[in-house]
Structure 1
């Protein structure tokens, strides 16, 4: 079933008169935007998430060196602290610098993996 979408003068898509008054844009502009990404299989782009502040917890299940980075496209490291006074970034106090170095060393096993860091505090 096709839906007749229109775009308001403010750029919002809709099916009611609110979205198509004076200044209404063409309904063709309601198409889903192109992400610019390839049309490849999304199952081949797997993202990992590592709670670094639980690195020594029994429930974590693995240490940093055990992350299966060979099959991941991105690993998100949670969490580093941001110091607004100096714009510095530090690992959580009990995590330690070695654990963060182990994280960056994952690039040696998969040079194509993207390593991301969540900032908080």
Structure 2
């Protein structure tokens, strides 16, 4: 009996969802580890004191400025870099939803 070759897309999160969303114990552990790493990156970057702002505060500009902080805080570690970028996009998405709920025009990224 020969092993069936797998394509990379067979192992994507989207493929898992299409197949009913069931994870093996190893996949679940990997998913939990990924969430923990993104959470760590959120805490590392967002726990730092921000710059004081005089005058008008732009949430949109502030969130955009966080991208470089997330990247800088990750250092050269590729896995931390990926987690930091994911963390940034989570913050960006949340900020966009807040701005939309407040009636602001959505920002195109």
Task: Tell whether the structures are fold-level matches, with TM greater than 0.5.
Answer: no
Higher relative contact order (CA 8 A, sep 6+): 2
The structure with more strand, counted as a fraction of residues: 1
| TM-score, length basis structure 2 | 0.29
If you compute each CA radius of gyration, which structure gives the higher value, 1 or 2?
1
| TM-score, length basis structure 1 | 0.28
The structure with more helix, counted as a fraction of residues: 2
